[in-house]
Amino acid sequence: MNYVSHLTCVGSCFVVAYVQMSKRVGRPSGIPRDGGWGTGVKTKTVRVPVAIAGCIKAELAALVAVRSLVADWDARVADACAVSSQGKPSPRYEQALVLLAELRVLIG
Protein backbone atom coordinates (compact mmCIF):
# COMPACT_ATOMS: atom_id res chain seq x y z
CA MET A 1 0.00 0.00 0.00
CA ASN A 2 1.03 3.56 -0.56
CA TYR A 3 1.19 6.00 2.30
CA VAL A 4 0.74 9.73 1.91
CA SER A 5 1.70 12.12 4.67
CA HIS A 6 -0.42 15.10 5.63
CA LEU A 7 0.98 17.96 7.65
CA THR A 8 -1.61 19.45 9.97
CA CYS A 9 -1.26 22.34 12.41
CA VAL A 10 -2.75 21.62 15.84
CA GLY A 11 -2.38 24.59 18.15
CA SER A 12 1.35 25.42 18.13
CA CYS A 13 2.40 21.92 17.00
CA PHE A 14 2.55 20.35 13.60
CA VAL A 15 1.24 16.82 13.33
CA VAL A 16 2.24 14.51 10.51
CA ALA A 17 -0.42 11.99 9.67
CA TYR A 18 0.20 9.03 7.40
CA VAL A 19 -2.88 8.01 5.45
CA GLN A 20 -3.04 4.70 3.67
CA MET A 21 -4.04 5.05 0.00
CA SER A 22 -6.02 2.28 -1.69
CA LYS A 23 -4.94 0.83 -5.00
CA ARG A 24 -8.49 0.40 -6.23
CA VAL A 25 -8.59 0.95 -9.97
CA GLY A 26 -11.50 1.07 -12.37
CA ARG A 27 -15.07 2.20 -12.44
CA PRO A 28 -16.69 3.15 -9.13
CA SER A 29 -19.14 0.56 -7.90
CA GLY A 30 -22.16 2.86 -8.15
CA ILE A 31 -21.84 3.48 -11.89
CA PRO A 32 -23.52 0.78 -14.00
CA ARG A 33 -22.07 -0.38 -17.28
CA ASP A 34 -23.66 -1.95 -20.32
CA GLY A 35 -22.31 -5.39 -21.03
CA GLY A 36 -22.57 -7.38 -24.20
CA TRP A 37 -25.98 -8.69 -23.14
CA GLY A 38 -27.29 -5.45 -21.60
CA THR A 39 -27.48 -3.92 -18.14
CA GLY A 40 -28.49 -6.11 -15.23
CA VAL A 41 -28.21 -9.45 -17.03
CA LYS A 42 -26.75 -12.20 -14.87
CA THR A 43 -23.67 -13.78 -16.43
CA LYS A 44 -21.51 -16.76 -15.62
CA THR A 45 -17.84 -17.41 -16.25
CA VAL A 46 -17.19 -20.72 -17.96
CA ARG A 47 -13.93 -22.40 -18.89
CA VAL A 48 -13.69 -23.44 -22.54
CA PRO A 49 -10.95 -25.06 -24.59
CA VAL A 50 -8.59 -22.60 -26.26
CA ALA A 51 -9.37 -24.10 -29.66
CA ILE A 52 -12.99 -22.85 -29.55
CA ALA A 53 -12.53 -19.73 -27.42
CA GLY A 54 -12.05 -17.49 -30.44
CA CYS A 55 -15.30 -18.45 -32.15
CA ILE A 56 -17.73 -18.29 -29.21
CA LYS A 57 -19.06 -14.84 -30.12
CA ALA A 58 -19.68 -15.96 -33.70
CA GLU A 59 -21.46 -19.10 -32.50
CA LEU A 60 -23.67 -17.10 -30.15
CA ALA A 61 -24.49 -14.66 -32.96
CA ALA A 62 -25.42 -17.61 -35.18
CA LEU A 63 -27.67 -19.01 -32.44
CA VAL A 64 -29.44 -15.67 -32.07
CA ALA A 65 -29.88 -15.50 -35.86
CA VAL A 66 -31.37 -19.01 -35.96
CA ARG A 67 -33.77 -18.13 -33.15
CA SER A 68 -34.96 -15.04 -35.01
CA LEU A 69 -35.30 -17.07 -38.22
CA VAL A 70 -37.44 -19.66 -36.43
CA ALA A 71 -39.60 -16.90 -34.96
CA ASP A 72 -39.97 -15.34 -38.43
CA TRP A 73 -41.08 -18.65 -39.97
CA ASP A 74 -43.46 -19.27 -37.09
CA ALA A 75 -45.07 -15.93 -37.91
CA ARG A 76 -45.26 -16.85 -41.61
CA VAL A 77 -46.97 -20.16 -40.81
CA ALA A 78 -49.38 -18.40 -38.43
CA ASP A 79 -50.23 -15.89 -41.18
CA ALA A 80 -50.82 -18.78 -43.61
CA CYS A 81 -53.14 -20.42 -41.07
CA ALA A 82 -55.08 -17.20 -40.63
CA VAL A 83 -55.58 -16.79 -44.38
CA SER A 84 -56.54 -20.42 -44.97
CA SER A 85 -60.19 -21.37 -44.96
CA GLN A 86 -59.41 -24.64 -43.14
CA GLY A 87 -57.40 -23.01 -40.35
CA LYS A 88 -54.16 -24.81 -41.23
CA PRO A 89 -51.36 -23.90 -43.63
CA SER A 90 -51.17 -25.22 -47.16
CA PRO A 91 -49.32 -28.51 -47.84
CA ARG A 92 -46.26 -26.65 -49.10
CA TYR A 93 -45.58 -25.59 -45.48
CA GLU A 94 -45.40 -29.22 -44.26
CA GLN A 95 -41.64 -29.56 -44.70
CA ALA A 96 -41.10 -26.14 -43.15
CA LEU A 97 -43.14 -27.21 -40.11
CA VAL A 98 -41.01 -30.35 -39.72
CA LEU A 99 -37.82 -28.31 -39.99
CA LEU A 100 -39.13 -25.74 -37.48
CA ALA A 101 -39.95 -28.50 -34.99
CA GLU A 102 -36.44 -29.94 -35.30
CA LEU A 103 -34.84 -26.50 -34.91
CA ARG A 104 -36.94 -25.75 -31.80
CA VAL A 105 -35.65 -28.97 -30.21
CA LEU A 106 -32.04 -28.05 -31.01
CA ILE A 107 -32.13 -24.44 -29.81
CA GLY A 108 -34.24 -25.11 -26.74
Residue 46: predicted pLDDT = 87
Question: Is 9 or 77 the better-scoring residue by pLDDT?
Answer: 77
Spell out the domain ranges in the chain: 54-108
Is the predicted pLDDT of residue 1 greater than 70, yes or no? no
User: What is the per-residue pLDDT across 2-22, written as a single tens digit (0 to 9) for each?
Assistant: 555 555 555 556 555 655 666
Residue 85: predicted pLDDT = 81
Write the single-letter amino acid at 30: G
Give the integer Cα–Cα distance in Å for 50 and 27: 29
Is the predicted pLDDT of residue 108 greater than 90, yes or no? no
Give the integer Cα–Cα distance in Å for 28 and 9: 33
- Report the sign of the C-alpha dihedral through residues 30, 31, 35, 37, in that order: positive
Return the H-helix or E-strand segment holding 5: strand 2-10
Question: Is 92 or 13 the better-scoring residue by pLDDT?
Answer: 92
pTM reported for the whole predicted model = 0.55
User: What is the per-residue pLDDT across 23-67, written as a single tens digit (0 to 9) for each?
Assistant: 666 766 766 666 666 777 788 888 989 888 889 889 889 999 999
Question: Is 97 or 36 the better-scoring residue by pLDDT?
Answer: 97
Residue 102: predicted pLDDT = 93
> Are 42 and 65 in contact, with CB atoms under 8 Å apart?
no
